[in-house]
Chain A
Amino acid sequence: MARIFTPKVVTANALIEGDVIYLTADDHWSRDLAQAELITDEAHAQLRLLKAQSQVATIVGAYLADVKPGDNGPEPTHFREDFRRTGPSNYAHGKQEAEANV
Chain B
Amino acid sequence: MYKYNDFDTAFVTERNAQFRAQVARRIDGSLTEDEFKPLRLMNGLYLQLHAYMLRVAVPYGSLNSAQMTQLALLAEKWDKGYGHFTTRQNIQFNWPKLSDVPDMLDALAEVGMHAIQTSGNTIRNVTSDHFAGAAADEIEDPRPVAELIRQWSTDHPEFQFMGRKFKIAVGAAAEDRAVLKAHDLAVRIVQNATGETGYQILVGGGLGRTPMIGQVINDFLPRADLLPYIESVVSVWNQIGRRDNKYKARIKITVHEHGIDDIRARVAARFALIRPSFTGADQELLSEIKTHFAAPNFRSGSTETYGAAYKADPVFRAWADTNLAEHRNETHAIVTISIKKHGATPGDASADQMRAMAELAAKYGYDELRISHQQNVILPHVHKSDLPALHARLKQHDLATANIGLISDIIACPGMDYCALATARAIPVAQQIATRFDALKLEHDIGHLQIKISGCINACGHHHVAHIGILGLDRAGVENYQITLGGDATWTANIGERAGPGFAYDEIVPAVERIVTAYLDLRTDAEETFLETFRRVGMAPFKAALYPEAVKKVA
Contact = CB atoms under 8 A, between A and B. Distances in A.
Contact of B417 (A15, A16, A17, A90): A90
B36 to A, nearest CB: 9
Contacts, number: 72
A10 to B, nearest CB: 16
Contacts of A32: none
By DSSP majority rule, is chain A's interface helix, strand, loop, or mixed? loop
B47 interface: yes
A87 B95 CA distance: 11
Contacts of A101: none
B98 A91 contact: no
B416 interface: yes
A57 B49 CA distance: 19
Contact of A18 (B97, B416, B431): B97
Interface in B87-111: 94-95, 97-99
Interface residues on A, range: 20 to 34
A61 B50 contact: no
Contacts of A95: 50
B477 A89 contact: no
Interface string A76-101: 01111001100111110111010000
A16 B80 contact: no
B479 interface: yes
A90 B427 contact: yes
A18 B47 contact: yes
Interface in B45-60: 47-52
B50 A84 contact: yes
Contacts of A18: 47-48, 50-52, 97-98
A89 B345 CA distance: 10
Interface in B101-154: none
Interface in B315-339: none
B51 A17 contact: yes
Given A16-B97, A79-B477, A83-B49, A91 B29 contact: no
Given A56-B33, A88-B418, A79 B51 contact: no
B240 to A, nearest CB: 33
A79 B425 CA distance: 10
B10 interface: no
A17 B477 CA distance: 28
A20 interface: yes
Given A79-B479, A84-B49, A93-B80, A56 B32 contact: yes
Contacts of B48: 18
Contacts of A13: 47
A30 to B, nearest CB: 15
A93 B52 CA distance: 14
Given A18-B98, A91-B80, A57 B28 contact: yes
A90 B27 CA distance: 31
Contacts of B447: none
Contact of A94 (B50, B97, B416): B50
A33 interface: no
Given A18-B50, A19-B51, A56-B32, A88 B417 contact: yes
A85 B424 CA distance: 16
Interface in B406-420: 416-418
A67 interface: no
Interface residues of B, number: 30
Given A88-B418, A89-B425, A90-B427, A79 B478 contact: yes
Given A57-B28, A83-B49, A83-B416, A77 B97 contact: no
Given A80-B416, A83-B417, A94-B50, A61 B80 contact: no
A84 B49 CA distance: 6
Contacts of B428: 89-90
Contacts of B29: 56-57
Given A80-B416, A84-B49, A61 B97 contact: no
Interface string A41-76: 000000000000000110011000000000000000
Interface string B472-512: 00100111000000000000000000000000000000000
B98 A20 contact: no
Given A56-B33, A90-B345, A93-B80, A16 B47 contact: no
Given A18-B52, A83-B416, A90 B431 contact: yes
Interface in B392-433: 416-418, 425, 427-428, 431
A78 B427 contact: no
Interface of B: 26-29, 32-33, 47-52, 80, 94-95, 97-99, 345, 416-418, 425, 427-428, 431, 474, 477-479
Task: Identify the 9 closest CB pairs spanning chains A and B, nearest first.
Answer: A57-B29, A88-B417, A18-B52, A18-B51, A94-B50, A90-B345, A90-B427, A60-B33, A56-B32
Interface of A: 13, 15-20, 56-57, 60-61, 77-80, 83-84, 87-91, 93-95, 97
23 contacts: A15-B27, A16-B27, A16-B98, A18-B51, A18-B52, A18-B97, A19-B50, A20-B49, A57-B27, A57-B28, A57-B29, A60-B33, A61-B47, A77-B477, A78-B477, A79-B477, A88-B50, A88-B427, A89-B417, A89-B427, A90-B431, A91-B80, A95-B50
Given A20-B50, A89-B417, A90-B417, 7 more contacts: A13-B47, A17-B51, A18-B97, A79-B474, A80-B416, A89-B427, A95-B50
